[in-house]
């Protein structure tokens, strides 16, 4: 009996093959035409944040065709599915964002978007101007090959198709935070989450990432300065909120340069809107300032908030004015797990056929950070323009001329596949 058990164990052990980067490479080449077809469908049929109804339906159909059992409706239009490997092992996740932007496309592509949607009460053009169409297509390509190889996969893969990365409409909740709030990581939290984004000025076909802080937090502020209205020819009869607002704007700019340790991490405070007054000779009652705050360090982020409110109140008080302070917390900073970065670098280098490029912290924001706050995660950029083209001379993400060199989608599929397989087969490291 004991000899039989030993033989059975040996047969079971040898029945599964170790998956290699070469296996992923061959499979990615085979699925590439389908990935391009998916990308073009998503590109031609974009939908705004929290309105990704047809997108979600199409993703669910594709996953069902693979033999998976998609779960729909999480955070409104989110879709998830799990690939069950044939061998025991941990759970890891791949995330792709689904929403498009209120941008009217000007690329002239044969599959260019002609879609429109409602945004801030107006009808606008809708375009995948940030590459989310490619993110979905690459994640589906990786899902295809991982599902085909699942008998040899030592673990499980959670596929996350997330709505509203660009931010939900005013008055609504959405995005990664709502998916997590509705139980995305329950009953089991993935050991690692992988995300991929095209563009951001990376050379074509190359991957770039970094350990630690990679993308900034993104917070919105509104400062309403209250003065006392008077004739423009007699400013001493009132309290001028315009002059006070101007002083506040200048004071805010000294926070990063004079109140924070600039050697620890960069930060940005930008005022993007100043509104007040109705005519040239009337000093108004109030002025409203609106802007954004970017930071990479959580403690520094809180320090900036405190310093901004203090500066605005003190400046207003010195002029006899008052303020209302409104702070809307956005995405936390994206912080890549250092150990995961080290482990996945060979997988990315194999996928690109080139070294992973170093990357300075990026002051744009991403709600992938919500996953990274809860479990080790790695976010990676993939250059989108053809090889040899200087990306700094080309239209950037969110431009109506933004496009992607489709052969690079195969590298994105390989990156997702390589990272998943590399992690699962080295889970004991």
CATH of the domain at 316: 3.30.70.360
Q: Is 374 inside a domain boundary?
A: yes
Residues 339, 318 share a domain: no
pLDDT of the residue at 427:
74
Distance (Å, whole) CA 8 – CA 10: 5
Residues 247, 181 share a domain: no
Rounded to 5 degrees, φ, ψ at 421 are: -65, -45
Residues 232, 212 share a domain: no
Query: In terms of residues, how long is the chain?
Result: 429
Q: What torsion, rounded to 10 degrees, do the Cα atoms 151, 413, 48, 52 define?
A: -20
Q: Where are the beta strands (DSSP E) in 216-259?
A: 217-226, 230-231
Can you list the residues of the chain whose pLDDT is less than 50? 1-14
In the numeric block, the tokens 């990063």 are attached to 256
Q: Is 2 inside a domain boundary?
A: no
Answer with the one of 328, 355, 372 that is the final residue of a domain.
328
Residue 376, sorted as left (phi over 0), alpha (psi -120 to 50) or beta, turns out to be beta
Residues 138, 123 share a domain: yes
Helices assigned H by DSSP within 255-357: 298-318, 338-352
Q: Is 414 inside a domain boundary?
A: yes
pLDDT of the residue at 4:
34
Residues 348, 311 share a domain: no
Number of domains in the chain: 2
CA-wise closest residue to 127 among 59, 70, 187, 42 = 42
Q: Is 12 inside a domain boundary?
A: no
Q: Is 1 inside a domain boundary?
A: no
Q: Beta strands 322-328 and 78-84: pairing type?
A: unpaired
pLDDT of the residue at 389:
93
Distance (Å, whole) CA 81 – CA 74: 11
Answer with the one of 286, 309, 328 that is the final residue of a domain.
328
Q: Is 420 inside a domain boundary?
A: yes
pLDDT of the residue at 416:
98
In the numeric block, the tokens 């207003």 are attached to 316
Q: Which two tokens stand for residue 279?
A: 């005519």
Residues 134, 122 share a domain: yes
Residues 410, 417 contacting (CB under 8 angstroms): no
What is the domain range of residue 92?
Answer: 20-216+333-425
Angle ∠(106,110,115) on CA atoms, nearest 5: 60
CA-wise closest residue to 294 among 370, 217, 361, 213 = 217
Q: Is 80 inside a domain boundary?
A: yes
Residues 79, 72 contacting (CB under 8 angstroms): yes
Distance (Å, whole) CA 390 – CA 395: 11
Residues 316, 195 share a domain: no
pLDDT of the residue at 105:
98
Residues 414, 404 share a domain: yes
Q: Beta strands 192-198 and 377-382: pairing type?
A: parallel
Q: Is 112 inside a domain boundary?
A: yes
């Amino acid at each position: 009996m004991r000899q039989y058990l030993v033989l059975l164990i040996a047969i079971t052990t040898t029945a599964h093959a170790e998956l290699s980067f070469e296996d992923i490479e061959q499979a990615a080449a085979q699925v590439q035409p389908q990935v391009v077809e998916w990308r073009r469908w998503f590109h031609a049929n974009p939908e705004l944040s929290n309105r990704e109804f047809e997108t979600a339906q199409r993703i669910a159909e594709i996953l069902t065709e693979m033999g998976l059992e998609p779960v729909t409706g999480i955070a409104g239009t989110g879709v998830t599915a799990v690939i069950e490997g044939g061998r025991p092992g941990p759970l890891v996740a791949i995330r792709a964002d689904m929403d498009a932007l209120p941008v009217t496309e000007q690329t002239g592509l044969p599959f260019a978007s002609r879609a429109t949607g409602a945004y801030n009460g107006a009808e606008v053009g809708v375009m995948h101007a940030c590459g989310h169409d490619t993110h979905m297509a690459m994640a589906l390509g990786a899902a295809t090959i991982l599902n085909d190889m699942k008998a040899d996969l030592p673990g499980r893969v959670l596929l996350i198709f997330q709505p509203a990365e660009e931010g939900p409409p005013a008055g609504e909740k959405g995005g990664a935070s709502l998916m997590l709030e509705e139980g995305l990581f329950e009953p089991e939290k993935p050991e690692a989450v992988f995300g991929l984004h095209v563009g951001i000025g990376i050379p074509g076909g190359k991957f770039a990432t970094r350990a630690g802080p990679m993308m900034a937090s993104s917070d919105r502020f509104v400062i309403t300065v209250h003065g006392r209205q008077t004739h423009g020819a007699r400013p001493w009869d009132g309290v001028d909120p315009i002059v006070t607002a101007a002083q506040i704007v200048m004071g805010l700019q000294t926070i990063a340069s004079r109140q924070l340790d600039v050697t620890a991490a960069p930060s940005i405070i930008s005022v993007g809107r100043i509104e007040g007054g109705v005519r040239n000779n009337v000093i108004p009652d109030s002025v409203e300032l609106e802007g954004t705050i970017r930071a990479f360090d959580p403690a520094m982020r809180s320090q900036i908030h405190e310093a901004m409110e203090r500066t605005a109140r003190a400046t207003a008080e010195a002029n006899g004015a008052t303020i209302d302070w409104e702070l809307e917390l956005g995405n936390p900073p994206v912080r890549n797990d250092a150990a995961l970065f080290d482990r996945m670098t060979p997988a990315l280098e194999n996928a690109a056929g080139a070294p992973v490029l170093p990357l300075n912290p990026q002051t744009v924001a991403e709600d992938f950070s919500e996953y990274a706050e809860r479990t080790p995660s790695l976010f990676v950029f993939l250059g989108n323009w053809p090889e040899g083209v200087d990306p700094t001379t080309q239209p950037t993400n969110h431009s109506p001329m933004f496009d992607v060199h489709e052969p690079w989608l195969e590298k994105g599929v390989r990156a997702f596949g390589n990272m998943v397989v590399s992690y699962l087969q080295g889970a004991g490291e």
